[in-house]
């Protein structure tokens, strides 16, 4: 927000229009420019699930400090049509500025309401008159924003040629740069100096601008995943699109399956053959995967599923965010079997946890779920370059040919103290074995004897009993001495951090526990945290408070927790958390 006399340290620009207007494109170019100028960037998209026609908006936030989500307010608003103003006026901060294409109302004078300035900015008209095509409205809008934000023109030129040169050629690059200049000049003419929001210039720090989906794709490549099978679904498909481009260069394979039943079953087939294999999906696809999820548990086949949550139930709202599928993976499918459910909260964690997921899957020979959300799955954030030297690959008890030859009477499901049996692959010599979805004996032969059943159940379930040392522990943030605690998972990470800062300004100290492994549930750590708090708030993007329920069912002490819930299809804004806590504790 702009504070008079102070340099801007944090700004949010919303670009709004109708689906098909190029809102995402314009916003992404702006995000790249801001990132290149050294700012930490976080974007937030609010798109309908159809391709054309419905209102859509995209917010690009930049800060001098690292940010993990959207801010409470919008400072600069660029609208391709007037309808967007009506929808979002309440989010524009005092002192903020509106630009709107006006759709033929080009003669209306600028007006000032509540310290906010409104300008009619005839984007389409300028585009038509100067470039004979309305397409150029996007770059003209970018030009106007470049004036308001006082962006570095050399950076803009650089990004535009990177964006267009390869696909469209030099001529188009020049034309687009001219359009940006035109927008900038027009804005200079109509916008007064005191209305602009100049950003301080910093140096590009070699950071990346990435979505969580891309980070998961990168993580899986780094982890050695070479087999990816999936069925298209919003908002998970980017994982696959990234891998589809890259895997062919790494002797890997990507296949589009006939449905999600096939997707997880194929990944299991590939993993059974020894490949590191993965699939990705969202709610409806995850429902179809439940059957194979259980097979992975019974047959003890490692596999990684990335689930990017969207709004349910049923088809719900495919492009919007929610945290309502925790129960699906923690409790889901038939029978009881070990599973691991990880919940990254940041883009960096998307990468790290993906690598970890493949190691855990092979070490414990069980399915591992990476549960993320549309919010940071599709939105972009600035991140430091990933440290590839930290990527370690652990294939667990996977036998090589030599080891296998040293074993007399190889048994795929041999009883071992830790429950994990050495794993041979089909095609290996001296490793003849059977993998069974029915209950089986140590050889893998179907066996319905009760005695054996008990021992096999215990063997499988024992695998995760001592896994705590390998799992990703919860992390505590904020003021550790405070008596107000907040617990959350996934995308609430950013807004909770900012809510804690807001509470601090209001003289309320709070701490926050980020749960990063949902299952096996980190009971001890959570109990310690609960024990150290007078009051605890569990923040979740769902209706029923699934994390709250999970905590209640797992901890072995009397507790009182309050849920702060949001299920509007939008991610939390910090203020929505801080104000509820403030009200409750005062």
Partner 1 sequence: MKKEDRLEQRNPIEDLLRMDRIPHIWCPGCGIGTVLTSFAEALRKSEVDLDKIAVLSGIGCTGRVAGYVKLDSIHTTHGRAVPVATGLKLANPELKVVVFSGDGDIAGIGGNHFIHAARRNMDIMIICVNNFNYAMTGGQVAATTPRGANASTAPYGNFEYPFSLPYLAEASGATYVARWTALHLRRVTKSMQEALKKRGFSFIEVITPCVTLYARRNRLGDGLNLLKYYYEKSEIQHGADTRTLDISYQGKLIVGKFVDIEKPTFLDCMNEHLGKVLGDKYQTYGVNND
In the bound complex, what is the minimum distance in angstroms from residue 429's beta carbon to partner 1? 6
Q: Give, as ranges, the residues between 518 and 557 that touch partner 1 (CB under 8 A).
A: none
Residue span binding partner 1 (CB under 8 A) among the ranges 35-43, 310-318, 427-435, 564-572 = 427-435
Give me the sheet containing 276-281, strands edge to edge: 253-256, 225-230, 276-281, 303-309, 367-373, 340-342, 517-519
Tell me, by CB under 8 A, how many residues bind partner 1.
47
Q: Which of 18, 433, 462, 504 binds partner 1 (CB under 8 A)?
A: 433
Q: Please say which residue, 317 or 435, places its beta carbon nearer to partner 1.
A: 435
Q: Single out the segment in contact with partner 1 by CB under 8 A; choices: 66-74, 90-98, 213-221, 432-440.
A: 432-440
Q: Is 229 in the site for partner 1 (CB under 8 A)?
A: yes
Q: Least distance to partner 1 from the beta carbon of 249, Å?
A: 5
Question: Which of 224, 269, 396, 473 is the binder for partner 1 (CB under 8 A)?
Answer: 269
User: What CA–CA distance (Å, rounded) separates 540 from 564?
Assistant: 6
The reply to whether 437 sits near partner 1 by the rule CB under 8 A is yes
Cβ neighbours of residue 159 closer than 8 Å, sequence gap 6 or more: 29, 32, 33, 36
134 vs 291, beta carbon nearer partner 1: 291
From the list 35-43, 269-277, 339-347, 403-411, the region that binds partner 1 by CB under 8 A is: 269-277
Q: How many CA atoms does the CB half-sphere of 104 hold within 13 Å?
A: 0
Our finding on whether 304 is near partner 1 (CB under 8 A) is no
Report, in Å, the least distance between residue 426 CB and partner 1.
4
CB of 256 to partner 1, least distance (A): 10
Rounded CA-CA distance 310/318 in Å is 6
Contact between 150 and partner 1 per CB under 8 A: no
Taking the complex as a whole, the smallest distance from the CB of residue 288 to partner 1 amounts, in Å, to 11
Write out the H or E segment, with its range, that includes residue 16: strand 10-18
401 binds partner 1 (CB under 8 A): no
Residue 19 interacting with partner 1 (CB under 8 A): no
Both tokens of residue 274?
Answer: 């020894």
Binding track over 170-209 against partner 1, x by CB under 8 A = ----------------------------------------
- Give the 3-state secondary structure of residue 9: coil
Structure-token match 């569990």, residue found:
538
Peptide bond into 313 cis (omega under 30): yes
Q: How far is the CB of 265 from partner 1 (least distance, A)?
A: 4
Cβ contact 375:43 at 8 Å? no
Question: Could you tell me the smallest distance in angstroms from the CB atom of residue 211 to partner 1?
Answer: 24
If one asks whether residue 291 binds partner 1 (CB under 8 A), the answer comes out as: yes
Nearer to partner 1, 78 or 275 (CB): 275
How many angstroms separate the CA atoms of 451 and 432, rounded?
25
* Contacting residue, 272, 386, 493, 529, with partner 1 by CB under 8 A: 272
Residue closer to partner 1, measured from CB, 104 or 426: 426
Q: String of b and e for 213-222 (b: at least 16 CB within 10 Å)?
A: bbbbbbbbbb
Stretch that binds partner 1, among 89-97, 289-297, 373-381, 402-410 (CB under 8 A): 289-297
From residue 239 to residue 268, the character string flagging contacts with partner 1 as x (rule: CB under 8 A) and all else as - is ---------xxxxxx-x-xxx-xxx-xxxx
Q: Distance between terminal CA atoms of the chain?
A: 27
Element (H or E) spanning 512, and its range? strand 510-515
Instruction: Select the span of 72-80, 114-122, 221-229, 578-586 touching partner 1 (CB under 8 A).
Output: 221-229
Q: Is 407 in the site for partner 1 (CB under 8 A)?
A: no
Burial class (CB in 10 A: 0-12, 13-18, 19+), 261: middle
Strand order in the sheet with 380-383: 111-113, 116-120, 92-100, 74-79, 10-18, 55-63, 40-46, 380-383, 208-211
CA–CA separation, 454 and 546 (whole Å): 31
Shortest Å, Cβ 239 to partner 1: 18
> What's the min distance (Å) between Cβ of 440 and partner 1?
8
If one asks whether residue 292 binds partner 1 (CB under 8 A), the answer comes out as: yes
Q: CB within 8 A of 528, min separation 6: which ones? A: none
What is the x/- site pattern for partner 1, positions 70-109, by CB under 8 A? ----------------------------------------
How is residue 389 written in tokens?
Answer: 């030297």
Dihedral of alpha carbons 67, 71, 77, 83, sign? positive
If the CB atoms of residues 445 and 543 are measured against partner 1, the closer one turns out to be 445
* For residue 520, cis peptide bond before it (omega within 30 degrees of 0): yes
277 near partner 1 (CB under 8 A): yes
Question: Whats the size of the chain, residue-wise?
Answer: 586
**Cα(33)–Cα(152) distance, rounded to whole angstroms?**
8
Residue 449 as a binder of partner 1 (CB under 8 A): the answer is: no
Strands (E), 204-332: 208-211, 225-230, 253-256, 276-281, 303-309
Alpha-carbon distance of 430 to 407, in angstroms, equals: 8
50 in contact with partner 1 (CB under 8 A): no
Question: To the nearest whole angstrom, how small is the minimum distance from the Cβ of residue 88 to partner 1?
Answer: 44
Contact with partner 1 (CB under 8 A) among 133, 438, 466, 553: 438
**How many Å apart are CA 583 and CA 586, to the nearest integer?**
6
Which is nearer to partner 1, 195 or 300 (by Cβ)? 300
- The least distance separating partner 1 from the CB of residue 410, rounded to whole angstroms, comes to 11
Task: Please give the residue ranges that form the binding site for partner 1 (CB under 8 A).
Answer: 226-227, 229, 248-253, 255, 257-259, 261-263, 265-275, 277, 291-292, 295, 299, 425-429, 431-438, 445-446
């Amino acid at each position: 927000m702009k504070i008079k006399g102070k340099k801007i340290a944090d700004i949010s620009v919303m670009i709004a229009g109708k689906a098909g207007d190029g809102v995402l494109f314009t916003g992404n170019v702006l995000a790249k420019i801001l990132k290149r100028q050294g700012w930490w960037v976080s974007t937030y998209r609010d798109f309908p699930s159809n391709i054309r026609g419905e209102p859509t908006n995209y917010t690009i936030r930049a800060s001098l400090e690292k940010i993990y989500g959207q801010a409470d307010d919008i400072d600069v608003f660029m609208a391709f049509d007037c309808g967007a103003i009506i929808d979002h006026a309440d989010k524009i901060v005092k002192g903020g500025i509106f630009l709107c294409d006006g759709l033929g109302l080009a003669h209306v004078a600028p007006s000032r309401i509540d310290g906010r300035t409104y300008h009619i900015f005839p984007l389409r008209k300028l585009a038509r008159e100067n470039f004979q095509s309305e397409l150029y409205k996007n770059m003209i809008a970018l030009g106007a924003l470049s004036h308001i934000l006082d962006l570095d023109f050399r950076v803009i030129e650089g990004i535009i040629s990177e964006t267009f040169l390869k696909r469209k050629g030099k001529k188009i690059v020049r034309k687009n740069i001219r359009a940006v200049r035109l927008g900038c000049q027009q804005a200079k003419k109509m916008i007064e100096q005191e209305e602009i929001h100049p950003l301080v210039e910093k140096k590009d720090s070699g950071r990346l601008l990435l979505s969580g989906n891309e980070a998961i794709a990168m993580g899986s490549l780094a982890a050695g995943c070479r087999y990816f099978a999936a069925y298209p679904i919003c908002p998970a498909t980017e994982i696959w699109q990234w891998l589809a481009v890259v895997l062919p260069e790494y002797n890997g394979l990507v296949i589009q399956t006939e449905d999600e039943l096939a997707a997880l079953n194929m990944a299991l087939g590939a993993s059974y053959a020894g490949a590191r294999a993965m699939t990705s999906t969202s709610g409806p696809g995850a429902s179809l995967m439940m059957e194979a999820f259980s097979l992975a548990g019974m047959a003890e086949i490692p596999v990684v599923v990335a689930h990017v949550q969207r709004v349910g139930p049923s088809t719900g709202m495919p492009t919007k965010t929610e945290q309502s599928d925790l129960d699906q993976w923690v409790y889901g499918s038939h029978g009881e079997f070990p599973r691991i459910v990880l919940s990254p909260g940041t883009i960096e964690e998307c990468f790290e946890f993906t690598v970890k997921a493949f190691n855990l899957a092979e070490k414990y020979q069980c399915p591992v779920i990476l549960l993320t959300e549309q919010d940071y799955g599709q939105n972009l954030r600035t991140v430091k370059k990933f440290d590839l030297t930290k990527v370690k690959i652990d294939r667990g008890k996977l036998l090589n040919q030599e080891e296998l030859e040293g074993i007399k009477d190889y048994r795929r499901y041999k009883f071992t103290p830790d429950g994990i049996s050495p794993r041979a692959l089909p095609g290996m010599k001296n490793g003849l074995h059977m993998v069974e979805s029915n209950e089986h004996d140590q050889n893998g032969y179907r066996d319905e004897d009760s005695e054996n059943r008990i021992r096999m159940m215990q063997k499988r379930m024992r695998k995760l009993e001592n896994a705590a040392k390998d799992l990703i522990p919860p992390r505590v943030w904020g003021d550790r001495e405070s008596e107000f605690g907040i617990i959350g998972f996934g995308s609430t990470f950013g807004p909770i951090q900012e809510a804690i800062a807001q509470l601090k300004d209001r003289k309320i100290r709070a701490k926050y526990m980020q749960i990063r492994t949902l299952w096996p549930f980190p009971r001890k750590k959570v109990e310690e945290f609960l024990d150290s708090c007078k009051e605890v708030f569990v923040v979740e993007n769902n209706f029923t408070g699934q994390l709250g329920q999970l905590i209640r069912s797992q901890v072995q002490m009397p507790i009182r927790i309050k849920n702060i819930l949001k299920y509007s299809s939008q991610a939390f804004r910090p203020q929505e958390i801080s104000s509820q806590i403030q009200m409750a504790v005062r």
